[in-house]
Amino acid sequence: MGCGERCMLISFYIITFGFMVLGAALLGLGIYIRTNGNGLDIVVDTSWHTAAYIMIAIGVMVFLISLLGCLGAVRKSTCLLGTYLSCMIAIFIVELAGAIYAGINRTAVESTIRNKFSTEVKDSYGQPQKNAITTGIDQIQTLFQCCGIDSPFNWTNSKWSNSKPVGNYGPPVPDSCCKMEMPNCGTNPANHYNETIFTEAIYQQGCYIKIRDLISNNIAIAIAILATFGCLQIVGLLIARLLYSTLGYEYGYEI
């Protein structure tokens, strides 16, 4: 084995190991997004879940194809390396399309979140056969320490709020809006006596901004992983192609 071939092999192993790490990271992010909804399932559409499944699929494929590339390099198999090259090119195209799609549709996702959350707050919370939505909204408000879409006043004239007694200031809100865990604190007239007490007892920031920021951060992380992976892929594909050509020349194959 010549010095040039040895250097190419070492470089290929390093790049391929990087692929495996990024593939595992993409897999982990996809699983996290899908399994740690924290009530977000009620405000995101199916495209968000589809994106998570795509990340999981790409992560698994990248990890397995990277192993295939390592095996091809160890065995000096042009067949395996050729398969590796073809698969990586296909994945690169899919990743590029996915990154562009995510960037273009970020605004649409945010608009969907606002519209769905507003609808569920107004029409579904606390209603019969809507337990999953009620639980989801409570989870969101508790986790993010927020209330309503933009403020607690989004609960005004909601079906749930209209069935509760009205205090001097502010609409009745679910207990998940309360800063302190106390039974019926969101509808207790004492917490609605005036603006000062209401502000001290109830979260004033809406949930939309916090949900939007969380999803935007996840999208940014995914795009960063894909961009890093894409740069590595370009280098890796060049090295793999050189290694493929070198092995083909060494063993007398037509390249």
Tokens of 47: 């495209």
% of the chain at pLDDT higher than 90: 24
Fold equal for 3-108+217-250 and 110-208: no
pTM as predicted: 0.70
Per-residue pLDDT, averaged over 231-252, amounts to: 73
Other beta carbons less than 10 A from residue 73's beta carbon: 23
* CA pseudo-torsion sign 23, 25, 27, 29: negative
Q: Which of 131, 78, 129, 79 is nearest to 247 (CA)?
A: 78
| Cβ-proximal residues to 100 (8 Å cutoff; 6+ apart), any chain | none
Q: Which of these ranges, 83-92, 197-206, 226-235, has the smallest mean pLDDT?
A: 226-235
Residue ranges of domains in the chain:
3-108+217-250, 110-208
Tokens of 87: 């698969």
> Under DSSP, is residue 202 helix (H, G, I), strand (E, B) or coil?
strand
Determine the pLDDT at residue 37.
Answer: 61
Give tens-digit pLDDT for 165-204.
Answer: 877 898 999 999 999 888 889 998 888 889 999 999 999 9
- Classified by CATH at the fold level, domain 3-108+217-250 comes out as Four Helix Bundle (Hemerythrin (Met), subunit A) (1.20.120)
Q: Which CATH code, of 1.20.1050.10, 3.40.50.2300, 1.10.1450.10, 2.40.40.20, is assigned to 110-208? A: 1.10.1450.10
Determine the pLDDT at residue 255.
Answer: 41
